[in-house]
Amino acid sequence: MQNLFRRLLLSISLAALLPLLGRAGALTELYTAAPAAPPPLPAAQQVAELRAASVGHYLSLDGLDLRAVPAAPADGSYEDKEDFRVILDWQNRRTAAQCAAAKAEMSHNYEVFFGRLSPFGSPTPAEVKEFFKNVGEDSVAAHKYLKDVYQRERPFLRDARVKPCLPRVAGLSYPSGHSAMARLFALILSDLVPARRAEFMAKADESALFRVIGGVHHPSDTEAGKALADALYKELKKEPAFVSDLRALQPLLR
């Protein structure tokens, strides 16, 4: 009789717990929380629609080969943890001068990235500004498309230890639009003035690093931005309109 009473009490206790657990046989959930699954990528149809809608000046992303741009690291992966290690390392040793230089490049355009290094006359000719504005539209269309695909949040939203020295910019993180545009412009300038390639590419790398130093991008964001720039430039050089407009800049070199 006593055993029967104990079994009855156990049955009543389990019945009371089951609504809390949501399903039978899940008592372990009271003690062990399942790891959060990474957000799923958009369905293939949605990705195709995003591509089709991503149109710049010279390029439409629909049909472009962007496989050279790696996928965003999974949350909690080794690569993801390494991103935060690097961000926090820079946070501990960055200087006020570095933060000020990064803040001066909050916007992204030709004048911001290469105004001081420009191989063209000063002030920058209108034709040059227009050309790089048009190329910039291709860069923006591409990085926005990939941001929508990967939906990676900014590092300061993902880890409270990250304290940006730049304004907490809105928008998604992967890939870095600054890094993509700066490198794309550097590749173009390097073709126009090959003797200065190292200088232009170093400036693009610096602009990318500023985003990590400032705490608004993961290092893998900036590396993906660089890979995106390489892929875009490869495609741009196949476009007759781009090639023609690029050639028209040569007489403007000083």
Residues 25-43: tens digit of each pLDDT:
332 332 233 444 455 656 6
CA terminus-to-terminus distance, the chain? 102
Residue 24 has pLDDT above 60, yes or no: no
Taking the C-alpha atoms of residue 163 and residue 216, their distance in angstroms, rounded to an integer, is 9
Q: Give me the pLDDT at residue 35, please.
A: 42
Place of tokens 């001066």: 104
Q: What is the pTM of this model?
A: 0.82
For residues 148-172, give the mean pLDDT: 97
- Partners of 60 in the beta sheet? 55
Backbone region of residue 55 per phi and psi (left: phi > 0; alpha: psi in -120 to 50; beta: other values):
beta
DSSP for 201-234 reads: HHHHHHHHHHHHHTTSS-HHHHHHHHHHHHHHHH
Residues 176-217: tens digit of each pLDDT:
999 999 999 999 999 999 999 999 999 999 999 999 999 999
Residue 61 carries which DSSP code?
-
Domains of the chain, start order: 1-34 (no CATH), 43-62+72-252 (1.20.144.10)
Residues 222-250: tens digit of each pLDDT:
999 999 999 999 999 999 999 999 999 99
CA atoms lying within 13 Å on the CB side of residue 240: 0
- Window from 54-63, 149-158, 219-228, 242-251 with minimum mean pLDDT: 54-63
Which pair of tokens denotes residue 78? 């080794």
Residue 53 has pLDDT above 80, yes or no: no
Q: Give me the pLDDT at residue 56, please.
A: 86
| Mean predicted lDDT score pLDDT of the chain | 86
- Asked whether 103 and 235 are in contact (CB, 8 A), the reply is no
How many Cβ atoms sit within 10 Å of the Cβ of residue 62? 14
How many Cβ atoms sit within 10 Å of the Cβ of residue 66? 16
Taking the C-alpha atoms of residue 9 and residue 6, their distance in angstroms, rounded to an integer, is 5
Q: Give me the pLDDT at residue 62, please.
A: 86
pLDDT grade for 16, boundaries at 50, 70 and 90: very low
Q: Give me the pLDDT at residue 226, please.
A: 98
For residues 93-105, give the mean pLDDT: 98
Which pair of tokens denotes residue 67? 């496989």
Three-class SS state of 147:
helix
Taking the C-alpha atoms of residue 121 and residue 253, their distance in angstroms, rounded to an integer, is 7
- Please report, rounded to a whole number, the percentage of residues in the chain having pLDDT higher than 70: 80
